[in-house]
């Protein structure tokens, strides 16, 4: 029984479809201070078409998920291999996405189709080998 408890303790607390945010205002390169979800812990996104289904964290007073305009994930552990989907259902007003320091190799049009108002993408320090033609076809 002790061995079973030990194994259960080793099971990670964060699944690939749930993220934990620190929320706050950050000056973005779109020249405005916007309200961001800053990832508290990197999700493990190692499979294509991963979907984020839930975001946890404490908002600033009078703020909610609807106020979030930026998503910031600089993977310190380089375990983000793909751009995940589903954030627009959680944060419907995203205009800025920062996904630095990952292992992303390819970026496709459909990765950003759900963000029609996207104005800023930072994808520095990844292993990008392929950017699809007309990458921002679905964005303003």
Distance (Å, whole) CA 95 – CA 68? 9
Instruction: For 50-75, give one letter per residue: b (16+ CB within 10 A) or e.
Output: bebbebeeeeeeeeebeebbbbbbbb
User: Considering the chain, what percentage of its residues have pLDDT values greater than 70?
Assistant: 79
Contact present, 118 and 94 (Cβ < 8 Å): yes
Report the predicted TM-score, pTM, of the whole model to 2 decimal places.
0.79
For residue 9, tell me if it sits in a domain: no
pLDDT at 129 over 90: yes
Tokens of 128: 């990008």
CA-based radius of gyration for the chain: 16
pLDDT digits (tens, 9 = 90+) for 60-101: 999 999 999 999 887 666 567 777 888 999 999 999 999 888
Identify the pLDDT of residue 42. 58
For residue 4, tell me if it sits in a domain: no
Identify the pLDDT of residue 103. 85
First-to-final CA distance of the chain = 57
Identify the pLDDT of residue 88. 93
Identify the pLDDT of residue 6. 36
Distance (Å, whole) CA 125 – CA 97? 14
Instruction: Work out how many domains the chain is built from and give that number.
Output: 1
What domain range includes position 121?
Answer: 20-131
């Amino acid at each position: 029984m002790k061995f079973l408890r030990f194994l259960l303790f080793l099971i990670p607390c964060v699944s690939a479809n749930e993220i934990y945010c620190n929320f706050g205002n950050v000056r973005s390169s779109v020249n405005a201070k916007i309200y961001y979800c800053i990832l508290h812990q990197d999700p493990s996104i190692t499979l294509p078409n991963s979907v984020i289904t839930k975001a946890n964290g404490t908002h600033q007073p009078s703020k909610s998920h609807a106020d979030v305009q930026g998503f910031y994930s600089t993977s310190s552990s380089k375990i983000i291999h793909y751009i995940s989907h589903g954030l627009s259902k959680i944060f419907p007003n995203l205009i800025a996405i920062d996904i630095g320091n990952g292992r992303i190799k390819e970026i496709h049009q459909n990765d950003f189709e759900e963000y029609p108002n996207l104005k800023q993408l930072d994808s520095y320090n990844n292993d990008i080998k392929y950017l699809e033609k007309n990458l921002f076809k679905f964005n303003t």
